[in-house]
Amino acid sequence: MKPIKREPLLYMLVLMAAMAACSGPKGVVAIEPNGGAPLLEDSISYELIVLDPGFESWYLLHGTPTKYRSQSYYENWNHRYVSEWNHKATSPGKHSFFQPIHGYEQGVDYGFELNHKLFYYFQYVERELKIPILVNRPATL
Domains of the chain, by residue range, sit at 25-128
Instruction: Tell which residue, 25, 45, 51, has the closest CA to residue 121.
Output: 51
In contact, 3 and 74? CB cutoff 8 Å: no
Q: How confident is the model at residue 141 (pLDDT cuts 50, 70, 90)?
A: low
Q: How far apart are CA 61 and CA 55, in angstroms?
A: 10
Q: pTM for the whole thing?
A: 0.71
Span 102-106, average pLDDT: 86
Instruction: Tell which residue, 35, 27, 51, 47, has the closest CA to residue 117.
Output: 47
Q: How far apart are CA 30 and CA 14, in angstroms?
A: 31
**Alpha helix (H) ranges present in the chain?**
7-22, 55-62, 71-90, 111-123
Each residue's pLDDT tens digit, 35-94: 555 545 556 788 888 989 899 999 998 887 767 899 999 999 999 999 999 999 988 777
Is residue 140 within a helix (H) or strand (E), and if so which, with residue range?
A: none
Q: How confident is the model at residue 24 (pLDDT cuts 50, 70, 90)?
A: very low
Is residue 135 within a helix (H) or strand (E), and if so which, with residue range?
A: none
